[in-house]
Amino acid sequence: MDGGQSSKAVVRAMRPEDCEAAGAFSSKMTKWMREKYLKDTYPKEASEFDAKNHSAKMLAEDIKNPDFFGFLAVCGKEICGIAHGRVFGKSGLAKLSWVAVDPEHQHEGIGISLMSAAEGYARSKGCHKLFVYTFPALAPAIKLYMKFGLLPEAYLRKHWWGVDFLVMGKWIGEYKKS
């Protein structure tokens, strides 16, 4: 186990051979999130664009990048959660690009375990800050992020596809000059 563990899931680093299943899981979660929370606020075209950026093909390219990090939560043999992002070189900044937990496994600690794995990775790379963009309409995600210690830092009005976004961040260490 590379990250954290919930009562039913094992969190581990994403591997190249995981990209196909991780892309399928991300596609499923993008559709679920839009239907459940964003149908009236986030354009379908934007969701489709996002799904392409979390596709197996894109993950297979991203995983080759040394600044990429990715973690999966596995329940039995199935992916039940994912988190990935990137470290911005030696800047001390890490972005959590995507966190998703299967609705059947929410409220089991999987999201916190995935974010803990991402934070641990970012710390190991010398990062002093972890941040995420989210939608104000995703109240459960905001609640999870705040529980993890990410705090609202900026409200971006009509930012992406004409939709409002919230930037949340967490200080995870001290900036160290090279």
pLDDT score at 25 = 97
Could you say which DSSP state residue 54 is in? T
pLDDT of amino acid 8: 81
What is the per-residue pLDDT across 73-96, written as a single tens digit (0 to 9) for each?
999 999 999 999 999 989 999 999
Q: What's phi and psi for 130, nearest 5 deg?
A: -120, 135
In a domain, 162, yes or no: no
Q: What is the pLDDT of residue 7?
A: 57
Give CA–CA dist 62/14, Å, rounded. 11
In CATH, what number is assigned to the domain containing residue 109? 3.40.630.30
The residues of the chain scoring below 70 in pLDDT are 1-7, 178
pLDDT at residue 178, as a whole number: 66
What is the span of the domain harbouring residue 88?
A: 10-129
Task: Tell whether 135 is covered by a domain.
Answer: no
Residue 50's pLDDT is 84
In a domain, 69, yes or no: yes
- Report if residue 161 sits inside a domain: no
Per-residue pLDDT at 3: 45
Cα dihedral 117, 118, 119, 125 sign: positive
In-domain check, residue 137: no
Residue 70 lies in a domain: yes
Strands of the chain, DSSP E: 10-13, 68-75, 78-87, 93-101, 129-134, 151-160, 163-171
Q: What is the pLDDT of residue 4?
A: 46
pLDDT at 177: 75
